[in-house]
């Protein structure tokens, strides 16, 4: 048969690593098997991350406010343009109506003058026996 390998049911024992005195003082611990030389840096990074997140949120809020203001200005300008277009259309309509009324008045005057001339011409004519 082939060779068999034997696996130990328990892991090999760990040896403890000595911690320098400066690190132990920073960690405020005397247990050399659980050193935390940069525990203060973790808190600092966590506060840096929290500050960064707050800054990103504030930046995003400012961006959204600017976008809302831009959209409000855009809508206001569009409304003003639509109102101006409507006023211009109404003015053009009024001008056209005035022109039509002037043309109708001119036609009526010319018609009445022609009709008056015809009445005078037929009135002076000798009656038919």
3-state SS of 6-23 is CCCCCCCCCCCCCCCHHH
Per the CB < 8 A criterion, the answer to whether 105 and 113 are in contact is: no
Query: Do the domain assignments include residue 123?
Result: no
Give the per-residue pLDDT at 45: 74
Determine, yes or no, domain membership for 7: no
pTM: 0.43
125 in a domain, yes or no? Answer: no
The secondary structure element, H or E, covering residue 54 is helix 39-123
- Residue 37's domain comprises 21-118
**Residue 63 covered by a domain:** yes
| pLDDT value of position 69 | 96
Give domain status of residue 126, yes or no: no
Is 89 a domain residue? Answer: yes
C-alpha to C-alpha distances, 85 to 42, 92, 107, nearest whole angstrom: 63, 10, 33
Q: 126 by DSSP, 3-state: which?
A: coil
| Rounded average pLDDT per 10-residue block, the chain, 129 residues | 54 58 52 54 72 94 96 97 97 97 97 93 70
Query: What's the pLDDT score for residue 122?
Result: 85
Count of domains observed in the chain? 1
Q: Is residue 107 assigned to a domain?
A: yes
CB 109 within 8 A of CB 117: no
Q: Is residue 80 part of a domain?
A: yes
Question: In the numeric block, which tokens belong to residue 56?
Answer: 């990103």
């Amino acid at each position: 048969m082939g060779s068999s390998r034997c696996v130990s049911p328990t892991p090999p024992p760990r040896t403890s690593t000595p911690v320098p005195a400066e690190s132990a003082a920073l960690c405020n611990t005397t247990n050399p098997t659980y050193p935390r030389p940069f525990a203060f840096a973790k808190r600092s990074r966590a506060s840096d991350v929290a500050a960064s997140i707050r800054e990103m949120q504030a930046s995003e809020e400012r961006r959204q406010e600017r976008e809302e203001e831009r959209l409000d200005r855009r809508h206001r300008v569009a409304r003003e343009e639509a109102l101006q277009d409507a006023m211009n259309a109404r003015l053009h309509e009024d001008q056209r109506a005035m022109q039509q009324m002037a043309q109708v008045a001119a036609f009526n005057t010319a018609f009445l003058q022609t009709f008056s001339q015809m009445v005078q011409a037929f009135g002076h004519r000798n009656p038919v026996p």
